[in-house]
Structure 1
Amino acid sequence: MKNNKFDVVGKRVVPIDVKEKAMGTAEYVTDMKLPGMLYGKILRSPYAHANILSIDTSEAKKIPGVKAVITFEDTPKIPFGTGCGRNDWYILAKDKVRFVGDEVAAVAAIDEETAEKALELIHVEYEELPVVLTPKDAIKKGAPIIHEDCPDNIAYHTEVERGDVDKAFKDADLVVKGTYSTSQAYQAYLEPKAAVAQWDAYGKLTMWLPVQVPMKCRIVYAKALGLDPGRLRVIKPYMGGGFGAKFEYMAHLICAELARHTGKPVKVVNTRREDFIAGNPRVPMEISIELALKKDGRFIGKKVYTLAGNGGRTVYGPPIASTTCYRIDALYDFQNVRSKADLLYTNTAPTGCMRGFGNSQMITTFEQLLDRAAEKLDIDPIEIRLKNAYKDGDVNLHGWELNTCGLAECLEKARNMSDWEKKYGKKRQKGRLKKGIGIASTMHVSGNRAFFKPFDGASSLIRIGEEGQVTLVHGECDMGQGQDTAFAQIACEALGARYEDFSVATVDTQISSLGCGSFSTRGTTLGGQGAIAAAKDAKGKILEAAGEILERPAKELDASNGIIFEKETGKEVLTFAEAAKHYVFEHGGMPVTGVGYWKPPTVVPKNYYGNCSPVYPYGAHIAEVEVDEETGRVDVVNYWAVHDVGRVINPTLLEGQLEGGIVQGIGWALTEDMIYDEKGVLQNDNFLDYRIPGSNDVPRIYTDFVESNDPNGPFGAKGIGEPALNPVAAAVSNAIYDAIGVRFYEIPITPEKILKGLAEKEKNKNSNTAANKNSYLYQRRL
């Protein structure tokens, strides 16, 4: 038996959690029922900006079945935050509310109906204040001040410069510029935000949370609650999606406080409306950009100014705004860059992470601008991208080490798959339907040392019982994307066990290894390497046990798919289970354990310089659309996506990630926008009015992969989660231009905007107007 190929890596195995989910036995936080459990509800502000003059809870406390009513005065008065530089959180509002949905008071009762009745009897007197809803308005002189310690409303400012930018623009043969806007979008996960909290008799708190970052939640929540982190345990059960939304969240802390005041376990589950109005949606941005080129299409300089919306308090706006300043500089070689960003407080929902983390906003912007540059230089859009693409081994201007870069191969594959040459620029029309095709490239990180500075590694523990059954314990988070299955495949391959003998433990901060969590497309790469390290340690013990049985050196043996064999001859000599049983019996019943960690070769960047990610995934997307000139409706009919994933761990999971990211991106491109009225009240706080794509909106999707085999990835693998969405809106927008000859500078591109654009095109048929040329942002900052 020669182990010269992968047993499980690269295979379409059955997901490790499929039976529980298919049979309905998988328990989510919303399903949980603990003995004596109470139900919590939160009183949220009806105003976007107001002073709290008084709160009267006396009537609410009289209702039979109400066990606690709390306000700011009943909670630890500790200002805190997520670690992004602004400690502007309190568990409940102190003196002032800053967005509709801000948390004012909370109730715990014997059932939800009783809790709701109690909320109605809490009387709050407010003094309304002027509202500011957009970053553009918030930065203006004289705008309402949202936080008194921030009189200019700028929650965060950053800038970075490399090279001689002024000289680059002076030497340019062409400069293209524009201002592009991206919307505030809701992540639209299936499972609403929720929490269950329980204190024990010794003052230790256990929380069951559907979160992507259990360890980080423990650190932040312990500070907010005045606890030692060792007295807070976070368990992450099954999760119904996250997409960046399920990080630290105020309702979790309110749940903990209700449990502390009642001495009973408490569950808090958001309604869908609560998730919309107070659920930390995507950061809206307005990005002004200039690109300097030579006539052959080479980039020689780039200038960027980003104006971003932080909402009423700071979640992850600062690092998201920073990302727009530098991450795309690993997609193409710009040579000289100057980037600035301002993050503005507004009276809207506090904004946070969503798939792409600022990179999606910048790629949406730049990939549209790049098509304009290609058109002016009469260069094919794919060719101009190839001309400026990085190659294996390059180091970008921020010190990022691009060991492998499959962008060029992705572009070529996408071109061939889509019949690009036969379609692009061909003015295809059938009746009132016009067809177009558009391209966009993407890149991302797989892990980000800059995000959580203490460490960005990963570790795992493997436990093997006497019958050969294997349990993998790790600290990362499967939120429905199949990460546990990928980890099991990776560990199984490195260990040499059978996949069907694997299980993966629930993440529990009391038991699991310390893990950063699921963000920055880091799971497969870093968590996978941690799993390999633990598997290798366990495998050494298994082979030592086999050697004892066979009375020969362990170094002469190897294992694959549950069988131990001779390295030299390939002869099968023992089963994995036989060796495991021997080890357990010879060690007093102690299971075989393997522990291991992986520390990536990254640094904490200084002034944004230094390699922050161990690997960098790349991709190319092509969208084909039909535009109805009478109704303005856009249908994405075909979509091609090719990604450099380093190594395919599981084709089914990769395809699922890509298809989901593409559909999510189509929604962002065409329909999704959180719309506020002049008072700051969200008008589309449900799935009827906030339209995400349905099954009829899903195009024919064609996917393929490039295996660049990155030396820092587990078996060469890179991540896929965020790159899958990043280029979609730009590809769709570029395809719309190819169809109807109208460019759009904000998303979503709704039918109304299509019709307006067509009307303006007709009106200005013979003019050469440039959209956004005199925009406020361009004049003010660039």
Structure 2
Amino acid sequence: MSTTHAPVPGLPRERDVLPPVIGSAVQRIDAVEKVTGRASYAADTRIPRMLHAAVVRSPHAHARVLAVDTSRAARVPGVHAVITGADTAQVKWGAFRPDLYPLAVERVRYVGDEVAAVAAIDLETARYAAELIRVEYEVLPAVLDLDAALADGAPLVHDDAPGNLAHEFAFDRGGAREWLERSDVVVEGVWQSTRQWHGSIETIGCTAEWSQDRVTMWVNTQTPFLARQRYATALGLPLRAVRVVQTEIGGGFGGKSGDDNTSVICAILARKTGRPVQLVNTREEEFLASRPRIPMRYHVRLGFTSDGLVTAKEIDLVADNGAYTGKAQAVLGAATVRHDALFTYRAVKARSRLVYTNLVPTGAFRGFGNPSADWAVGQAWDLAATRLGIEVPDLFLLNAVESGSVSPHNHRISSCELKQCIRRAAAAIGWYDKRAAPTPHRGLAMGVSVHVSGRRSFGDYDGSSAIVRLTEDGRAAVIIGEGEIGTGARTTLAQIAAAELGLAVADISVSRPDTDLTTHALGALASRVTYVAGNAVKQAAERACEQLLAAAARQTGRPAAELWVEDGHVHAPAMPGEDTPLRQPVGTVVRAELYRPGGEPIVGLGSFDNPSEFPDQLRYGNESGAYNFVAEAAEVEVDPATGAVTVLELAAAVDCGTVLNPPLAEGQVEGAIAQGLGMALTERFDWDGGAPTRPNFVDYKMPTAGVMPKLHVEFADSYEPTGPFGAKGVGEIALDPVPSIVASAVADAVGVRVHELPITAEKIFWGIRTGSTTPPEQAGPGGLSESAEPAPPDRPAPPRDRAPGEER
């Protein structure tokens, strides 16, 4: 059991007096129910008289819907409702750009677009009936890649988006062209990423039930309050008519942000049938109609002085939005500007375009644009190191930001241990020893990244609120709407509350999100829960503790300043004439405060708004109150006969401030690295007619334990003064540099630099033999014509008059 002193209210917490429960490997508060199978996920929801649903999806990338015949489906015994676009409010909805109908109205825009849906007595009947629905289409010309979508006279995916542009912006901060012209060394290249699916163990699902004119939706969304607003719009309802309850979530990674139609269709069917309805995606539907990572094409130019100081960066970014927008507009912004908070650029210039295509819509994925940015910009830095004759870690150390730095976009860095991370990652991988004694066909690379701890995106607010109620049995209930998506967030919030209240973590309960019953919250996005929600819980617990000590002072006649809470008891030194010090159970104090004339419960309310700015339309503004950093280094081995890549070791050093729960933090880093390796090496589909040829895990290869390298995970000695006990975010950042460093390590090993993900053995094989990493007959639509670069010159050995990683 952890014991702790509650703080004196109003005094700042210093690093050297952190309570023991902070930084401890406490057991997850949801561990027992998960390992025993009692946790209730979306498909586990059971309501009396519940029906099951199936969806009819478009087989065409672009077509006009001429007629939908549902008569045969409606006559199937056990079918209770069949709906089409005519049964919806026919209102477009979306997080930033409303462009999506719940069911197709007049046109379908990608293979998988929802056309009709069925609710029946069981799932088999619903699916059988859905197969009987006949849709008459007029097939229209489709744009299936970026180049086709941007071509003059291209068919429009949406009539109100000329040129198929969903969003665009540009800026030049500091005169980048002039700086590049004056630079001694300029490197440039074009890199393209691809769609990556979340691959969560649990697919998207919802159960909906109406009571009179109000619907309750049990959804595995990671943003219940934000999803509620969008669902209300799509259903044509006032906000008060929608209640969202978060179920357990089997993995989110951004894919369960509530940007798809599943829950809306479920609610419409429930309203038409007058009975509860459940709709859960099949795995194939998850690949066809969820919101994967946005493919991006970057043209990058970097300038440097001859001694390695960076001057300017210029990018031209084009992103494949797919058929509908969702969160893609915000992702585009992050992919354009966030990585500029890594280095001391004198000037930055960018042009960014989000382009509609007739492909599956895209959206949020762990890293939120950073992995695509780092994939391109990170390799440009690697090229620059070779051109300059400087080791990559040393080049990074020359140019890395520090605490107090301000990016060209006014990102203000409070705590920053990026340089420490660079040195630790280099040491963990044995960078300089391996450089001094290279092994044939093995290569080294390093990358860095920066991420936010929450971002001001919605209504000029990135805050959280919490209620902490002390109970008469000596426990505490934390009421908060942020939720849990598998990361252990509820456990971390319980630790924060326990530390402030002097209670054991086992005596803290943390609510699940319910838009009727919990405080408002933005949810699990932008690595914000620990930092933003943690501060709200900390403040609420402080206020509850202050009330507790005031009540104990009244009850015992002692000054409140002499009281403290530890191991579930209120303590005080012995008063004159007393033999023993005070040791009163917290529950006893709470009960005495409640059961008296005019008695009151002990309840603390806390709120915290991220100390940040709402960026303007050109993404200028300090988007977060705290930034987290990572440096990662990898060693790979390439088989020159086949091009096969083996990632041997990968070291990650992370600056996330105080590590509140080391096993949870390590798990987040390791999981992010695994997803980064999938993005880098294996995750792809063959496409035909605008759709994956086989949308399942047979063709879509996610990394397994057998391909994971030896991992070195370290955390920087860091403290964020605005974070709860010095903490900031950690959930996303370790994914960001992985594709870039794998590509750069391959280039270091065999002289072949892959410019289009994934990095396959075939591309490397052809690069070694022909100088082109993609055979012409296999180049996909809109793909790059890649060329292998000559083998890089030998990297310089580190000078012996300085320690490895020491700055010049």
TM-score by length of 2: 0.91
1:170 aligns with 2:181: yes
Code of the aligned partner of 1:235: V
* Structure-to-structure mapping, 1:441-480, within 5 angstroms: 441-449=448-456, 451-480=457-486
CA displacement, residues 314-345 of structure 1 (integer Å, 9 cap, x when unaligned): 11111111222211111111110111111111
How far did 1:403 drift? 0.7
Quote the residue 2:490 is aligned against. 484
1:79 aligns with 2:104: no
1:588–1:38 distance in 2 versus 1, CA, 3 Å = farther
- Aligned residues of 2:4 and 2:19 also touching (Cα < 8 A): no
How far did 1:135 drift? 1.4
1:89–1:554 distance in 2 versus 1, CA, 3 Å = same
Quote the residue 1:60 is aligned against. 73
How far did 1:572 drift? 5.8
CA distance in 2 between counterparts of 1:565 and 1:618 reads 41
3-state DSSP class of the match of 2:163?
coil
2:169 to 152, 158, 163: 158
* Structure-to-structure mapping, 1:638-677, within 5 angstroms: 638-677=649-688
Quote the residue 1:714 is aligned against. 724
CA distance in 2 between counterparts of 1:461 and 1:375 reads 55
- Aligned residues of 1:658 and 1:720 also touching (Cα < 8 A): yes
User: Deviation above 6 Å: which 4+ runs of structure 1?
Assistant: 567-570, 772-776
1:730 aligns with 2:730: no
Code of the aligned partner of 2:469: R
Code of the aligned partner of 1:125: E
1:243 aligns with 2:253: yes
CA distance in 1 between counterparts of 2:465 and 2:27 reads 24
CA displacement, residues 121-140 of structure 1 (integer Å, 9 cap, x when unaligned): 11101111222211122111
3-state DSSP class of the match of 2:734?
coil
CA distance in 1 between counterparts of 2:450 and 2:574 reads 43
Quote the residue 1:780 is aligned against. none
CA distance in 2 between counterparts of 1:164 and 1:561 reads 60
Quote the residue 2:500 is aligned against. 494
Code of the aligned partner of 1:273: E
- Aligned residues of 2:685 and 2:699 also touching (Cα < 8 A): no
CA distance in 2 between counterparts of 1:373 and 1:691 reads 33
1:38 aligns with 2:54: no
Code of the aligned partner of 1:438: A
Structure 1 spans left out of the alignment, 5+ residues: 764-771, 777-782
Code of the aligned partner of 1:535: A
3-state DSSP class of the match of 1:170?
helix
CA distance in 1 between counterparts of 2:199 and 2:635 reads 25
Quote the residue 2:25 is aligned against. 12
Quote the residue 1:544 is aligned against. 550
3-state DSSP class of the match of 1:480?
coil
Quote the residue 1:779 is aligned against. none
Code of the aligned partner of 2:127: E
- Aligned residues of 1:424 and 1:738 also touching (Cα < 8 A): no
2:594 to 584, 599, 606: 584
Quote the residue 1:123 is aligned against. 134
1:506 to 494, 501, 512: 512
Q: What is the aligned-residue identity percentage? A: 39
CA distance in 2 between counterparts of 1:250 and 1:435 reads 47
3-state DSSP class of the match of 2:735?
coil
How far did 1:238 drift? 0.7
Quote the residue 2:14 is aligned against. none
CA displacement, residues 505-527 of structure 1 (integer Å, 9 cap, x when unaligned): 11101011100111111111001
- Aligned residues of 2:253 and 2:365 also touching (Cα < 8 A): yes
CA displacement, residues 16-54 of structure 1 (integer Å, 9 cap, x when unaligned): 100000100000111111000011111001111111111
1:292–1:774 distance in 2 versus 1, CA, 3 Å = farther
1:386 to 397, 413, 416: 397
Code of the aligned partner of 2:446: I
Code of the aligned partner of 1:107: V
1:57–1:602 distance in 2 versus 1, CA, 3 Å = same
2:624 to 600, 608, 613: 613
CA distance in 2 between counterparts of 1:336 and 1:266 reads 55
How far did 1:162 drift? 0.7
How far did 1:761 drift? 4.8
CA distance in 2 between counterparts of 1:684 and 1:361 reads 25
2:356 to 338, 341, 345: 345
How far did 1:724 drift? 1.4
3-state DSSP class of the match of 1:617?
strand
CA distance in 1 between counterparts of 2:265 and 2:701 reads 30
CA distance in 2 between counterparts of 1:234 and 1:324 reads 31
Code of the aligned partner of 1:321: L
Quote the residue 1:261 is aligned against. 272
CA displacement, residues 604-650 of structure 1 (integer Å, 9 cap, x when unaligned): 12232221101000010111112122222211121111001110100
CA distance in 2 between counterparts of 1:594 and 1:700 reads 46
3-state DSSP class of the match of 1:186?
coil
- Aligned residues of 1:496 and 1:561 also touching (Cα < 8 A): yes
CA distance in 2 between counterparts of 1:561 and 1:367 reads 49
1:409 to 404, 420, 442: 420
CA distance in 1 between counterparts of 2:666 and 2:316 reads 35
- Aligned residues of 2:4 and 2:565 also touching (Cα < 8 A): no
1:218 aligns with 2:228: yes
CA displacement, residues 141-181 of structure 1 (integer Å, 9 cap, x when unaligned): 13222112223111111112211222201211011000001
How far did 1:116 drift? 1.0
- Aligned residues of 2:465 and 2:605 also touching (Cα < 8 A): yes
Code of the aligned partner of 2:745: A
Cα-Cα RMSD: 2.0
Code of the aligned partner of 1:442: S
1:428 aligns with 2:439: yes
3-state DSSP class of the match of 2:595?
helix
Quote the residue 1:768 is aligned against. none
CA displacement, residues 212-247 of structure 1 (integer Å, 9 cap, x when unaligned): 111011111111212111121100011000101111
CA displacement, residues 559-583 of structure 1 (integer Å, 9 cap, x when unaligned): 2332323389996632323322322
2:365 to 342, 354, 369: 354
Quote the residue 1:48 is aligned against. 61
- Aligned residues of 1:627 and 1:739 also touching (Cα < 8 A): yes
- Aligned residues of 1:425 and 1:738 also touching (Cα < 8 A): no
Code of the aligned partner of 2:262: A
CA displacement, residues 713-749 of structure 1 (integer Å, 9 cap, x when unaligned): 1111010111010111112112212221221112110
2:343 to 326, 332, 338: 332
Quote the residue 1:769 is aligned against. none
3-state DSSP class of the match of 1:297?
coil
How far did 1:480 drift? 0.4
How far did 1:2 drift? 8.7
CA distance in 2 between counterparts of 1:195 and 1:589 reads 42
1:95–1:720 distance in 2 versus 1, CA, 3 Å = same
Code of the aligned partner of 2:403: D
- Aligned residues of 2:208 and 2:218 also touching (Cα < 8 A): yes
CA displacement, residues 424-446 of structure 1 (integer Å, 9 cap, x when unaligned): 375413xxxx2222111011111
CA distance in 2 between counterparts of 1:587 and 1:521 reads 46
- Aligned residues of 1:645 and 1:707 also touching (Cα < 8 A): no
3-state DSSP class of the match of 2:302?
strand
- Aligned residues of 1:437 and 1:739 also touching (Cα < 8 A): yes
CA distance in 1 between counterparts of 2:375 and 2:198 reads 17
CA distance in 1 between counterparts of 2:433 and 2:306 reads 25
2:34 to 1, 15, 21: 21
How far did 1:401 drift? 1.3
3-state DSSP class of the match of 2:311?
strand
